[in-house]
């Protein structure tokens, strides 16, 4: 989990997400407990309330960066500065970073059903623009 130090209701600067050739993967979230028992990395804590899975709004969210790191891959997608977030979401600038390179997180404003959080992230994906470091290879999906 990343410690937030500042919050935004719109995208504060161009932010980037590593995705696939045809999608920014904004709806790819690793919950805990994990989907896969071998997975030890998670993005958000999920708990059950009356038979519904909820995202703990203080636990984390979807990672974004204000730079594209070629060590992670080439298929980066940009969410442009000033993009409005779907209602119920905000972005945090997280503690750490150096030399102008920072981590950001899209978080729910308050605990919300997991399916709703995913729906809102899918809505935001319509604003994502391919910003690939090199042309995608045909075999990459």
pTM equals: 0.88
pLDDT at 2: 84
Query: In the chain, what is the straight-line distance between the N-terminal and C-terminal CA atoms, in Å?
Result: 28
What is the spatial distance between Cα 89 and Cα 104, in angstroms, rounded to a whole number? Answer: 13
What is the spatial distance between Cα 57 and Cα 55, in angstroms, rounded to a whole number? Answer: 6
Tens digit of each residue's pLDDT (9 = 90 or more) over 116-141: 999 999 999 999 999 999 877 764 44
pLDDT at 108: 98
């Amino acid at each position: 989990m990343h410690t937030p130090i500042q919050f935004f209701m719109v995208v504060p600067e161009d932010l980037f997400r590593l995705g696939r050739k045809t999608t920014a993967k904004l709806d790819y979230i690793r919950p805990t407990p994990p989907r896969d028992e071998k997975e030890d990395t998670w993005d958000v804590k999920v708990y059950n309330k009356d038979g519904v899975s909820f995202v703990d709004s203080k636990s984390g969210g979807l990672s974004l960066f204000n730079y594209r790191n070629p060590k992670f891959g080439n298929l980066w997608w940009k969410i442009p500065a000033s993009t409005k977030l779907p209602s119920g979401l905000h972005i945090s600038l997280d503690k750490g970073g150096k030399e102008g390179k920072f981590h950001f997180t899209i978080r729910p404003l308050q605990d919300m059903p997991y399916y709703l959080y995913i729906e809102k992230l899918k809505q935001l994906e319509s604003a994502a623009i391919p910003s690939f470091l090199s042309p995608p290879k045909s075999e990459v999906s």
